[in-house]
């Protein structure tokens, strides 16, 4: 299975630490997945860590996005984490209970997303919106009302450093955040 790949081209959180959080989720999370981070975790030793919860009706703005450094890992049955040497960022998944780096997309942010970052196919859709009960943004024909939204700018590619991949790149979409 290929997981989502994210490149933050020009984002406000680069210069403003208030737009960054460390979160934890009870679910497996991929980079570019979206969630709420409204309350502190009650986990032991996690006094500055927020709980990641799925977006829901009435909470489709002030959404956060996973953006962990890509270090593929394997978690054994007893919970021990092994760092792997995979060159393919599509093999990276943040397993439930692991800490996640997150940023809060701001209007004007430019981000490149692999196709795997979205629910559904792009087709002729030019907007991606936060949707109730979804960890991924959903393609649509218009900007969602009162929801985090990205607008399609261009089709591009993300280079993958894996010699087993014939083209060495995957289709991606450069997008601008319109609302959050």
> SS3 breakdown of the chain: % helix, strand, coil, rounded to 5?
5, 40, 55
List C-alpha distances in Å: 47 to 7, 35, 123: 29, 19, 43
Give the pLDDT of residue 85. Answer: 61
Q: For residues 2 and 17, give the distance between their C-alpha atoms in angstroms, rounded to a whole number.
A: 30
The one-character DSSP state at 3 is P
Please compute, for residue 98, the number of CA atoms within 13 A of its CA located in the half-sphere on the CB side.
23
Is residue 149 over pLDDT 70? yes
Q: What is the C-alpha separation between 41 and 56, in angstroms, rounded?
A: 19
pTM: 0.84
The HSE-up count of residue 100 (CA atoms within 13 Å, CB side) is 33
Asked if residues 64 and 39 have their Cβ atoms less than 8 Å apart, the reply is no
Q: What is the per-residue pLDDT across 15-52, written as a single tens digit (0 to 9) for each?
A: 788 889 999 999 999 999 999 999 999 888 888 999 99
């Amino acid at each position: 299975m290929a997981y989502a790949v994210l490149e933050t081209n020009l984002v406000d959180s680069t210069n403003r630490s208030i737009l960054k959080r460390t979160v934890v989720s009870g679910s497996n999370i991929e980079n570019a997945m979206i969630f709420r981070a409204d309350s502190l975790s009650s986990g032991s030793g996690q006094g500055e860590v927020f709980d990641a919860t799925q977006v829901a009706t009435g909470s489709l703005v002030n959404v956060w996005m996973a953006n962990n450094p890509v270090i593929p890992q394997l978690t054994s049955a007893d919970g021990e984490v092994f760092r792997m040497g995979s060159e393919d960022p599509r093999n990276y998944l943040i397993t439930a209970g692991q800490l996640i780096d997150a940023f809060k997309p701001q209007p004007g942010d430019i981000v490149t997303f692999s196709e795997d970052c979205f629910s559904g196919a792009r087709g002729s859709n030019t907007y991606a919106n936060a949707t109730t009960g979804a960890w991924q943004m959903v393609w649509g024909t218009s900007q969602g009302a009162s929801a985090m939204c990205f607008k399609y700018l261009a089709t591009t590619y993300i280079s993958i450093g894996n010699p087993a991949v014939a083209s060495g790149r995957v289709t991606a979409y450069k997008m601008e955040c319109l609302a959050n």
